[in-house]
């Protein structure tokens, strides 16, 4: 049983928790201030003045648009691939017990559990050995591999809560496998797949470590950011891009949270 909700928490605990949360959020908020600064040459604080000029300058930058477009395409294709592979894997693991089931979970999690640099250099050396030139597809290959786990985790959790009786009932009542999939299984797991897909998209959209090894000369948005971080050329444009990236990644996270909210809270309570 939970403690009485009226129990007062010690003041020091409150302060420490609030300070921790502030530590996690203030740096991100700072990005929003810097996106409007009039200062061009340094990271001066406080900003000498505010302007909307850099939004326009960034809007007219072809290299930013190209990088953004490449990132969106890579994320979309990788997410699609990860959705298929992750769901298949989750369906197999949750519906039956078989030899090696545990190792499949491990195999799916491994690309994200091992440091990204290992996945990256492994893929790069494999491309080298096999004489595969860098292309759009080499990026996708890497991204889809580590996105599988996000879809898999979401789908497995939902499959566990979906009763197998529903499927048996559907089949007993004469539906064929595709009808069962379309009318019984899909409505049950759709929101979990949507949430998994959004998280996979966010993961791929933001990935930089593996991408530096598999992109060759192409620049995704994170690679563009990385170049600006190492050798700043036009700081105000970087500030604006950083702000846009924060906004773009927040939306899928919030959406994924609301899509899985009811179920996850339930699961957390059952623990």
Least distance (Å) from other proteins to the CB of residue 21?
A: 5
Q: Single out the segment in contact with other proteins by CB under 8 A; choices: 58-66, 103-111, 157-165, 185-193.
A: 103-111
Q: Single out the segment in contact with other proteins by CB under 8 A; choices: 52-60, 70-78, 154-162, 220-228.
A: 220-228
Q: Single out the segment in contact with other proteins by CB under 8 A; choices: 57-65, 67-75, 80-88, 158-166.
A: 80-88
Which residues lie closer than 8 Å to 55 by C-beta, 6 or more apart?
A: 35, 240
According to CB under 8 A, which one of 84, 166, 169, 190 is a site residue for other proteins? 84
Angstrom CA distances, 75 to 4, 89, 141, stand at 46, 20, 11
Q: What x-and-dash track marks residues 141-180 binding other proteins by CB under 8 A?
A: x--xx--x----------------------x--x-xxx-x
Q: What is the C-alpha separation between 127 and 57, in angstroms, rounded?
A: 38
Q: What is the C-alpha separation between 221 and 217, in angstroms, rounded?
A: 13
Binders in 5-24 for other proteins, by CB under 8 A: 5, 7, 9-10, 13-14, 16-17, 19-21, 23-24
CB atoms within 10 A of CB 231: 7
Q: Would you say 136 and 72 are in contact if contact means Cβ atoms under 8 Å apart?
A: no
**C-alpha torsion sign, points 29, 33, 36, 39:** negative
The reply on whether position 119 binds other proteins by CB under 8 A is yes
Q: What x-and-dash track marks residues 24-63 binding other proteins by CB under 8 A?
A: xx-xx-xx--x-------xxxxx-----------------
Burial class (CB in 10 A: 0-12, 13-18, 19+), 112: middle
Q: Which is nearer to other proteins, 76 or 112 (CB)?
A: 112
Q: Single out the segment in contact with other proteins by CB under 8 A; choices: 63-71, 72-80, 100-108, 158-166.
A: 100-108
The reply on whether position 135 binds other proteins by CB under 8 A is no
Q: Which is nearer to other proteins, 51 or 176 (CB)?
A: 176
Token pair recorded at residue 207: 């990935």
The reply on whether position 222 binds other proteins by CB under 8 A is yes
Residue with tokens 């930089």: 208
Q: Would you say 251 and 47 are in contact if contact means Cβ atoms under 8 Å apart?
A: no
């Amino acid at each position: 049983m939970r403690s009485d909700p009226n129990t007062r928490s010690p003041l020091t605990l409150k302060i420490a928790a609030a300070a921790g949360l502030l530590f996690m959020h203030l740096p991100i908020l700072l990005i929003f201030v810097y996106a409007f600064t009039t200062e061009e040459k340094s990271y001066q604080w406080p900003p000498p003045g505010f302007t909307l000029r850099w939004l326009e300058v960034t809007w007219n930058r072809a290299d930013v648009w190209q990088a953004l477009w490449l990132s969106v395409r890579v994320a979309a294709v990788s997410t699609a691939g990860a959705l298929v592979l992750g769901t298949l894997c989750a369906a197999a693991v949750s519906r039956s017990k078989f030899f090696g089931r545990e190792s499949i979970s491990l195999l799916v999690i491994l690309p994200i559990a091992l440091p990204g640099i290992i996945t990256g250099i492994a893929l790069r050396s494999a491309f080298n050995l096999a004489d595969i030139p860098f292309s759009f597809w080499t990026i996708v290959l890497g991204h889809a591999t580590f996105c599988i786990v996000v879809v898999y985790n979401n789908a497995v959790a939902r499959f566990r809560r979906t009763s197998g009786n529903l499927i048996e009932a559907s089949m007993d009542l004469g539906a064929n496998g595709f009808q069962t999939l379309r009318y019984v299984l899909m409505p049950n797991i759709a929101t979990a797949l949507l949430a998994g897909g959004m998280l996979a998209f966010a993961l791929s959209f933001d990935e930089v470590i593996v991408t530096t090894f598999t992109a060759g000369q192409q620049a995704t948005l994170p690679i563009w950011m990385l170049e600006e971080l190492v050798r700043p050329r036009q700081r105000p444009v970087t500030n604006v891009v950083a702000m846009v990236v924060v906004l773009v990644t927040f939306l899928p996270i919030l959406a994924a949270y609301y899509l899985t909210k009811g179920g996850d809270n339930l699961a957390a309570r059952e623990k």
